[in-house]
Amino acid sequence: MEENVKLSVAEDAVEYHLFLLPEEPRDPEKHKEVLQKYIAAITTQYAPLLVSYIWQNQPFNLRYKPAKGSIPAHIVGVTKFGDNIEDEWFIVYLIKQITKKFPELVARIEDNDGEFLLIEAAEFLPKWLDPDNSTNRVFFHCGELCIIPAPRRAGEIPWLPATPPTISQALSIITRHSEKIIASESIQAAVNRRIKGYPEKIQTSLHRAHCFLPAAAVAILKQRPQLIAAAVQAFYLRDPIDLRACRTFKMFLPETRIMASLTFTKCLYAQLVQQRFVPDRRSGYSLPPQSHPQYRAHELGMKLAHGFEILCAKASPLTDFKKPLIMNNSLWNDFLESLKQKDYFEGEMEGSAKYLQKLRLAENYFQQSVNGPENFLDISPGEEILTLLQTVPFDLEELKKEDANLPLEDDDRWLYLSPDQLDQILQEATGRDEPGLTPTPKGEEEPNYDLTKVTESVKAFVSKVSTHKGAELPREPSEAPITFDADSFLNYFDKILGPDSGESDSDDFDGDDLDGEDSEGLDSDDDVDLADQGPEGKASTKKTLESIKSLMAQMDQELAHTSIGKSFTTWKEMDNLTKEPSQTLGSHSNDEVTADGTVLEPVDVDLNLVSNILESYHSQAGLAGPASNLLHSMGVQLPDDIDHRHPST
């Protein structure tokens, strides 16, 4: 990461950087010592969350990175999260909490998509912010998301650079103007919604299941439960060359299989369950009939055994890797004392089975994250498994006794979603979990759906600014009232097209005439400067306006002799049906007469709009389509179309 160059992050990986404030010249060795103390403090502080966490590919890790160019020395970490996107958002939660606990630290985080935090809050970003100018602008500080703004003009704000800031400039801005760069509440809410539920969410993302697998694999997973992720990945990503090692098993023999209770993440469990696989007959692994009550346990164990065997076949033994004795290390003693203060052992008596199990997990975590070699992540899971097979003794008969008292399995019905559950998840993901979006239980009255929301939302949509980048959607339609000031709208176009004398003064128009976000579109660099129009420009725009009016009159005359008007509902037809003027959709004007005497009856625009949208919605037959997609993006939810008859029949 050189100055303001974007990070180059590997696929399905997240990279995070922690910088120390205030940024001022200091002795490099002393700076390194300070940063390493922060690494130890962070690792210890969040050990209760990280010790037993099962990562999809790589764990959360921190290491010291020396200064390079204009980038000061700092703390860096890279984690490959693979198919489990929750690992990435858990890291976002950790980074946010770290900067909250240590306010002198500032963090930035990116993945291979770039500023994915901005992607999550894309609907609420200011218009000037885009991927091209977002480099080194997004940071966490004191637990708050900060976005360094860009000035409209160079030099307008002295402390803001005209180009994307370098890391040093960004740190200086955060140090001196932190309160001025906090992201808006809507952006903060979008990111916070994604990490909502942590740390409790860690437990709900786990799944416990029974597996019938070799005793050696059970012993390894007791010592290192996180290796289950590597075994699942090895099986899930297998190829024909990998399966050659599974024709005859050398390390995990089928004759030693026992029943055990294992803990997966839901992502790992789904990957293992959903793949159909028939083992090689020569392997010795056979499955009972699918009607067998323990068929699922046999199938899971067989797949895991294949994963472990593949890992070992790819690895070479680490003859020089030995786990150091850490029990007499002062750093370990401080780490262990910190865990006790945070009630990591949950009141278990020292020496009990559960206490020792937690102690082993803490030792492994300490070895990898605090006291281990700097290139610990380069040690493959297969090499670690081979080392554990040589160093971890286990009693087969003792393990067989344990399978008689296994805890119950978790229900895996979460794997199978109904359409209603899927809709609910999508609504929650978009932040529109509102009443009326979920099906009405039987026996309860259907909610009243207000069709005026359809017309109001579409009016707001067509009044938004559209460019080559696309059309803008009204934001938060359920929370903010939708307004459309027709007078201001027409007045604005009069300014552009050239009104009569006395109406072209640019002072008559104020950007505030358009409420809310509508005025934002008029403040862009592409807007017409009406005040700069000279006499020739005014004459030209007046001529253009007259030409447009003439063209519209010709179109009206041509359409009057066709049957196109019969496809629209007019106010007169509605009057004949209701016998009184409509009170909800406004009043109508008198009929117009063209130059050739043809009568033009006013069209009920709102009614025709709703009718056409409902007909389009009906034609979708319950599937996704333009009508439902457009209305859903505006926050308008229609009831399920259960009437299969065509409206015209």
- Residue range 21-76, pLDDT digits in tens: 976 667 888 899 999 899 989 988 998 899 989 999 999 999 999 999 889 999 99
Counting every residue, how long is the chain? 649
Spacing of C-alpha 270 from chain mean position: 20
Residue range 257-282, pLDDT digits in tens: 999 999 999 999 999 999 999 999 99
Q: Nearest to residue 93, comparing CAs of 234, 172, 192, 213? A: 192
Confidence of residue 473 (pLDDT cuts 50, 70, 90): low
Q: Give the pLDDT confidence score for residue 560 in this predicted structure.
A: 76
| Distance from C-alpha of 618 to C-alpha of 625, rounded to nearest angstrom | 10
Q: Nearest to residue 7, comparing CAs of 144, 189, 100, 135? A: 135
Q: What is the mean pLDDT of residues 301-312?
A: 96
| Distance from C-alpha of 79 to C-alpha of 56, rounded to nearest angstrom | 10
Residue with tokens 């037809």: 573
How buried is 525 (Cβ within 10 angstroms: 0-12 exposed, 13-18 middle, 19+ buried)?
exposed
| Distance from C-alpha of 245 to C-alpha of 474, rounded to nearest angstrom | 58
Instruction: Look at strands 105-111 and 138-141 and give their pairing.
Output: antiparallel
Vertex 254: Cα angle to 219 and 259 (nearest 5): 50
Task: Name the strand (E) or helix (H) holding 258.
Answer: strand 257-265
How buried is 458 (Cβ within 10 angstroms: 0-12 exposed, 13-18 middle, 19+ buried)?
buried
Residue with tokens 């059970």: 218
Helix (H, G, I), strand (E, B) or coil at 392: coil
Residue with tokens 């990116």: 110
228 has pLDDT over 80: yes
Phi/psi at 80 (5° precision):
-85, 120
- DSSP alpha helix (H) spans, 370-470: 381-391, 396-402, 419-429, 452-462
Which tokens in the block code for residue 461? 């949509």
Which tokens in the block code for residue 113? 């998509």
Residue with tokens 């922690």: 18
CB 187 within 8 A of CB 125: yes
| Distance from C-alpha of 71 to C-alpha of 309, rounded to nearest angstrom | 44
| Distance from C-alpha of 200 to C-alpha of 543, rounded to nearest angstrom | 68
- Amino acid identity for residue 29 in this structure: E
Q: Work out the percent of the chain whose per-residue pLDDT is above 70.
A: 73
CB 164 within 8 A of CB 135: yes
Q: Give the pLDDT confidence score for residue 121 in this predicted structure.
A: 93
Q: Nearest to residue 67, comparing CAs of 13, 27, 111? A: 27
| Distance from C-alpha of 363 to C-alpha of 369, rounded to nearest angstrom | 10
CB 165 within 8 A of CB 173: yes
437 has pLDDT over 60: no
Q: What is the mean pLDDT of residues 141-148?
A: 96
Q: Give the other-Cβ count within 10 Å of 626's Cβ.
A: 12
- The residues pairing with 593 across neighbouring beta strands, listed in sequence order, are 599
CB 608 within 8 A of CB 564: no
* 164-168, 515-519, 607-611: the lowest-pLDDT one: 515-519
CB 488 within 8 A of CB 463: no
Phi/psi at 424 (5° precision):
-65, -40
Helix (H, G, I), strand (E, B) or coil at 485: coil
| Distance from C-alpha of 284 to C-alpha of 271, rounded to nearest angstrom | 23
| Distance from C-alpha of 205 to C-alpha of 266, rounded to nearest angstrom | 6
Q: Nearest to residue 333, comparing CAs of 377, 370, 373? A: 370
Helix (H, G, I), strand (E, B) or coil at 152: coil
| Distance from C-alpha of 295 to C-alpha of 299, rounded to nearest angstrom | 6
* 207-221, 449-463, 492-506: the lowest-pLDDT one: 492-506
Spacing of C-alpha 466 from chain mean position: 26
Residue range 569-596, pLDDT digits in tens: 776 666 655 555 444 444 445 555 555 5
Task: Name the strand (E) or helix (H) holding 593.
Answer: strand 592-593
Average confidence score pLDDT of the chain: 79
* 34-43, 106-115, 402-411, 609-618: the lowest-pLDDT one: 609-618
CB 538 within 8 A of CB 580: no
| Distance from C-alpha of 66 to C-alpha of 43, rounded to nearest angstrom | 20
Confidence of residue 446 (pLDDT cuts 50, 70, 90): low
| Distance from C-alpha of 307 to C-alpha of 494, rounded to nearest angstrom | 71
How buried is 457 (Cβ within 10 angstroms: 0-12 exposed, 13-18 middle, 19+ buried)?
buried
Distances (CA, A) of 486 to 463, 544, 588: 10, 22, 16
197 has pLDDT over 60: yes
Vertex 551: Cα angle to 545 and 557 (nearest 5): 140
Q: Give the pLDDT confidence score for residue 289 in this predicted structure.
A: 94
Residue range 337-355, pLDDT digits in tens: 888 888 888 888 888 888 8
For residue 337, give every residue at least 6 positions away whose Cβ sits within 8 Å of its Cβ, in sequence order, or none: none
Residue with tokens 């028939």: 278
| Distance from C-alpha of 142 to C-alpha of 99, rounded to nearest angstrom | 5
Q: Give the pLDDT confidence score for residue 594 in this predicted structure.
A: 54
Spacing of C-alpha 635 from chain mean position: 19
Q: What is the mean pLDDT of residues 138-158?
A: 91
Q: What is the mean pLDDT of residues 97-118?
A: 95
Instruction: Indicate the pTM of the whole model.
Output: 0.72
Q: Is 470 left (phi over 0), alpha (psi -120 to 50) or beta?
A: left
Sign of CA dihedral 233, 234, 235, 241: positive
Spacing of C-alpha 341 from chain mean position: 34
Confidence of residue 225 (pLDDT cuts 50, 70, 90): very high
| Distance from C-alpha of 150 to C-alpha of 179, rounded to nearest angstrom | 16
- Dump the DSSP string for 3-24: TTPPP---TTEEEEEEEESS--
210 has pLDDT over 80: yes
